[in-house]
């Protein structure tokens, strides 16, 4: 059961918006493409977990900090 749906990061949304409105630098374009690939991969993984019908809980985009790391 999915408790929290996956969302795009703020940096992903910013780069996506900039990409539609202006030409990105090569570094920005590379960052944007990496974020798109990562998000797409995460969505595929989420679908696999849903299809597996596991009995546990799934919380996407959860960041756990331990000892300031």
> Domain for residue 68, yes or no?
no
Q: Residue for token digits 């910013």?
A: 14
pTM of the predicted structure, to 2 decimals: 0.77
Per-residue pLDDT of 47-60, as tens digits, reads 888 888 888 888 88
In a domain, 64, yes or no: no
Does residue 65 belong to any structural domain of this protein?
A: no
Contacts of 2 (CB under 8 A, 6+ apart): 46, 49, 50, 58, 60
Q: How many domains does the chain have?
A: 1
Q: Do residues 26 and 34 lie in contact, with contact meaning Cβ atoms separated by under 8 Å?
A: no
Contact 47, 5 (CB under 8 A): no
Domain membership flag for residue 67: no
State how far the Cα of 69 lies from the Cα of 61, in Å rounded to an integer: 16
Q: What is the pLDDT of residues 3-62, one digit of tens each?
A: 788 899 999 999 999 999 999 999 999 999 999 999 999 999 988 888 888 888 888 888
């Amino acid at each position: 059961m999915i408790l929290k749906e996956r969302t795009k990061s703020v940096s992903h949304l910013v780069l996506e918006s900039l990409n539609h409105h202006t030409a990105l630098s090569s570094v920005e374009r590379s960052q944007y493409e990496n974020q798109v690939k990562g998000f797409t991969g995460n969505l595929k993984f989420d679908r696999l977990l849903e299809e597996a019908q596991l009995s546990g809980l799934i919380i996407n985009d959860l960041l756990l900090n331990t000892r300031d790391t």
